[in-house]
Structure 1
Amino acid sequence: AAVLSGALAGTTYALLHHYLLAQRQTSALRQSYASARLVRQDLNASGTDVAQVLSSLTLNNSTRSFVYRGGRWYSTTVSVGKSSLPKSLTDAVLRGRPAYQRVDMAGSPAIAIGLPLPAISADYFEVHSLAELQTTLDTAAVVLALVALLIALGGAALGWWAGVRLVRPLREVTGVAEAISSGELDRRLSGPNDSDLAPLVGAFNRMVGALQERIQREQRFTSDVSHELRSPLTAVETSAEVLAMFRSCLPAEGNKALDLLMLETGRFSGTVEALLEISRMDAGAAQLAMEDVELRELLQFAIDTHESGQVPFVVEPGAGDVAVHADKRRLLRVVANLLDNADQHGEGVVQVRLGRTGDWAQITVEDAGPGVAEGERARVFERFYRGSGPASVRRGGSGLGLALVAEHVRVHGGSVEVSDRPGGGARFIVQLPVTRR
């Protein structure tokens, strides 16, 4: 808008300048020719004095006239003499050619016109001041500049208003999409004022509705299957425990089969419990027993009770008294799952570290395994994902451990990510908001 208004103002000023200057020039030429005719007529009369002829001319106060005759210069004023006339102009007129030229007269712009009068062996000159025209043009320039500024400001205001009006629906779409991605599947776009956007809003809401229905259906299926498996699984576990009471009566092959049965039922029971836990969190039915938890004590307890034995534990300076408002049981599950993951897939835990960055507590678990490929770092937190390599499949696991970590951290307002550990291996970092004291 500023460039357009500036260009428009500049073009208008240029056209106005050209028109007014041409009009003033035409008027000056017409007046000069009329005055030259009078001078020629009066000087043709015998005995007429040149100065008297010049003084008889009817000229405005801003016009000066000159006559060159018989090698002498005559002027209507003493203050402005022939020095006001440029030499190129006088030379052209003295050679018998009419001419005009822009000049400076007493610091003001003017136009000098010269006309040869061969009938009386003289040359006539007039100098017309353009000061009044210049004042008019200066005023016009100021007015046009102000108009251009107002147009630019008005255009900017209009553009801002139109931009806000156009971007508002996009902002709403962005906000709703972010809310949906964070799990608020009941969010919808409101009806737009613009009828052109109504089909888009309707299609978006229908898409979200279909997505919500599908997710809820899958959640119900997972929950129902988990509940249906829980009862027979409990019966199998109970039966295995009863059989274990009569190990001495079983042959060697029977004891091996019993050990395998108890191992697999235990693993299967853990998978079912994990599915039920995830189902409750998906449904928003997870019960959180929130309290202030000292992370140093919690991590030390998790390490002491872990099967892998001694694990190096490092507390960074300033993180010794870090506490978070959380469900202690769920945080213990997070740490235990990360330690189990390091044992199963990372060839053992290298180090557990507690740190603090601003208002965030950081729990870091490092392992000595092959690490996680960059393309799989987001997928390792998906449900039932166990890696793309054959080694990951051979190591077993349900693929729910890291998914539970991500869900537990999410409900606490935190985040979890994985990166490479310097020297090889994977580094899992959990961030949780610190309790303000």
Structure 2
Amino acid sequence: MRLRLSGLRPRLIAAFALVTLVGATAAAGASYVSARTTILAGFQDQTMNRLKDQITLFAPNLTLPPTQQSLDDFAASLKSSAVVVYKNLQSTGGPSLSEIPPELRAEVSGRSQLVFQRVFRYGQPLFVVGTTVRGRGANGLPAPTGLEVYTVTSLSSQQVAIEELARSAWQTAALALPLAIALALLAARGVLRPVRELNTAARQLGDGKLDVHLRARGSDELAQLVHTFNGTARELERTVGELRGMEADARRFVADVSHELRTPLAAMTAVTDVLDEDAASLPPDTAVAARLVSEETRRLTRLVQDLVEISRFDAGRAELQLDEWELPTAIKDSLDARGWRFSDDLVADLPAGITAWADRRRLDIIVANLVGNALRHGEPPVELRLRDNGTTVTFEVTDHGPGMDPAVLPHVFDRFSKADSSRARSEGSGLGLAIALENARLHGGTIKAMNTGSGAKFVLTLPLIRRLP
């Protein structure tokens, strides 16, 4: 779910929706503000102009100081909810002076122009206008009369119109959201189709299908990316093809050489066996030479055998011959076959009753390589430990030597890997641990190497198959 929400499609849709929503909201807001200002300004101008005209029309008929009746007549002539004030007198029937904001009355006093203010009273908006009335003085010039006029008009109809306008604006913005999502889906489809195709092609390339090819559409950046991918795939196919050919040639060469060497080595082994038997009767120098030839022949024979085994793994021809074995007995047989006896130098903890299906020959190779490596390059005691873990079985080989160099440890299972240059002429071929690991993997297991602080440890882990699949 997290991957889906963080994908390119959701982000494109979210970006389109956000931009469209912000744009629509801004446009709707600007339209709302402009229309609201227009509605209120038109109403205000109309109301104040009408009031001004009505005052101008009635003012010449006033006599000063006015009477209560004249104030009432003046208020009635204004044709709106109005109150006329002269000092302590005020007209009756109009709005109360308490409805007039004190700050507006203070601003009206002593001024001749109209003053207005919008207020909210009794749950509705009101438009209050106030002005002074000026008459004509004895010299014919306008002069203050002391009269003040205030009108109160409801803005309910204008408020309804403004609310309807706001509702329409928000509905328009809301309707723009599905359109934005539809546009985002359309844009995402055009962008993501080549991206999905590239992803599929890259996955096929990773799976080994090197002849994958994409069709470029158009000439934009995505088309250029497709052209680059196709070129990379072609170059990779060519390079991998060359490497596979070279690898196949190398495997075939090793297999052919190993096979061709086996026949002369068999003859040489027979000859060296005779020389070993007669070495005691040979002159000293000749005996030394005979033993040296015999030792080197055995080493070469073992190397050829290991190379043949490795070539089988590389060619994928190695097979398991599974049978049910009691693992403690199989391990002891491997040790006995090589003359390794339990003693203070070789300690074993092999609980009886641990049985599993395994290839006996390949298990023997693994045990021989791990124990032989510990005996040759570690220090006693070498400890063997077998454990049944329910679904797996582990076989640990631990020595008490100096351990392995940390720089060598990651490469201990590499082919022809040896701990140091002083072992270059050791009995081993440098392929033993590599062959042991391949045999463990063939069983579905693995081997790990580590330092314990007081020596080296190898841990063989095999799946505990109790019945033949």
Q: Aligned residue for 2:354? A: 321
Q: Aligned residue for 1:198? A: 230
Taking the TM superposition and a 5 Å limit, the aligned residue runs for 1:205-284 are: 205-284=237-316
Shift of 1:334: 1.1
Distance (Å, rounded) in 1 between the aligned partners of 2:361 and 2:443: 12
Taking the TM superposition and a 5 Å limit, the aligned residue runs for 1:126-137 are: 126-129=153-156, 130-134=159-163, 136-137=165-166
Q: 1:396 to 1:20 in 2, by over 3 A?
A: same
The code of the aligned residue for 2:429 comes to S
Q: 1:137 to 1:414 in 2, by over 3 A?
A: farther
Shift of 1:209: 1.0
SS class of match (1:262): helix
Q: 1:33 to 1:169 in 2, by over 3 A?
A: closer
Q: 1:424 to 1:228 in 2, by over 3 A?
A: same
Give CA-to-partner distance per residue, 1:97-126, whole Å, 9 cap, x none: 766666545556x47464535446324454
Q: Which of residues 195, 203, 214 in structure 2 aligns to 1:166?
A: 195
Structural RMSD (CA): 3.8
Q: 1:247 to 1:141 in 2, by over 3 A?
A: same
Structure number with bigger Rg? 2
Q: Aligned residue for 2:450? A: 419
Give CA-to-partner distance per residue, 1:329-382, whole Å, 9 cap, x none: 112101111111112222356322233557443332222233233333332212
The code of the aligned residue for 1:137 comes to A
Give CA-to-partner distance per residue, 1:189-248, whole Å, 9 cap, x none: 533344423212212222221121111111111112212222221121111112234345
2:438 is equivalent to residue 410 of structure 1: no
Q: Which of residues 377, 397, 409 in structure 1 aligns to 2:428?
A: 397
Q: 1:404 to 1:22 in 2, by over 3 A?
A: same
Q: 1:151 to 1:12 in 2, by over 3 A?
A: closer
Q: 1:229 to 1:24 in 2, by over 3 A?
A: same
Paired residues of 1:70 and 1:122 also in contact (CA < 8 A): no
SS class of match (1:418): strand
Paired residues of 1:302 and 1:336 also in contact (CA < 8 A): yes
The code of the aligned residue for 2:348 comes to F
SS class of match (1:378): helix
Q: 1:22 to 1:143 in 2, by over 3 A?
A: closer
Q: Aligned residue for 2:29? A: 17
Q: 1:333 to 1:176 in 2, by over 3 A?
A: farther
SS class of match (2:354): coil
Q: 1:357 to 1:146 in 2, by over 3 A?
A: farther
The code of the aligned residue for 1:190 comes to V
Distance (Å, rounded) in 1 between the aligned partners of 2:355 and 2:412: 28
The code of the aligned residue for 1:38 comes to R
The code of the aligned residue for 2:358 comes to A
Q: Aligned residue for 2:173? A: 144
List runs of 5+ in structure 2 lacking aligned partners.
1-10, 62-69, 135-146, 217-225
Distance (Å, rounded) in 1 between the aligned partners of 2:197 and 2:326: 44
Q: Aligned residue for 1:183? A: none
2:50 is equivalent to residue 38 of structure 1: yes
2:38 is equivalent to residue 26 of structure 1: yes
Q: Aligned residue for 2:149? A: 122
The code of the aligned residue for 1:133 comes to I
Q: Which of residues 362, 366, 383 in structure 2 aligns to 1:330?
A: 362
Taking the TM superposition and a 5 Å limit, the aligned residue runs for 1:365-404 are: 365-387=397-419, 389-393=420-424, 395-404=426-435
Shift of 1:276: 0.5
Distance (Å, rounded) in 1 between the aligned partners of 2:234 and 2:359: 40
Paired residues of 1:39 and 1:53 also in contact (CA < 8 A): no
Distance (Å, rounded) in 2 between the aligned partners of 1:291 and 1:157: 61
Paired residues of 2:399 and 2:456 also in contact (CA < 8 A): yes
Q: 1:248 to 1:377 in 2, by over 3 A?
A: closer
Q: Which of residues 285, 298, 312 in structure 1 aligns to 2:347?
A: 312
Distance (Å, rounded) in 1 between the aligned partners of 2:82 and 2:390: 89
Shift of 1:176: 4.9
SS class of match (2:394): strand
Distance (Å, rounded) in 2 between the aligned partners of 1:326 and 1:68: 115
Paired residues of 1:100 and 1:111 also in contact (CA < 8 A): no
The code of the aligned residue for 2:294 comes to M
Paired residues of 2:74 and 2:84 also in contact (CA < 8 A): no
Q: 1:313 to 1:142 in 2, by over 3 A?
A: farther
Shift of 1:400: 0.6
SS class of match (2:407): helix
Q: Aligned residue for 1:62? A: none
Shift of 1:294: 4.2
Q: 1:202 to 1:307 in 2, by over 3 A?
A: same
Distance (Å, rounded) in 2 between the aligned partners of 1:50 and 1:436: 115
The code of the aligned residue for 1:425 comes to G
Taking the TM superposition and a 5 Å limit, the aligned residue runs for 1:172-183 are: 173=202, 176-177=205-206
Distance (Å, rounded) in 1 between the aligned partners of 2:250 and 2:100: 99
Paired residues of 1:66 and 1:82 also in contact (CA < 8 A): no
Give CA-to-partner distance per residue, 1:140-174, whole Å, 9 cap, x none: 44663575478469858975996686266446545
The code of the aligned residue for 1:16 comes to A
Distance (Å, rounded) in 1 between the aligned partners of 2:451 and 2:21: 62
TM-score by length of 1: 0.78
Paired residues of 1:381 and 1:402 also in contact (CA < 8 A): yes
Q: 1:100 to 1:41 in 2, by over 3 A?
A: closer
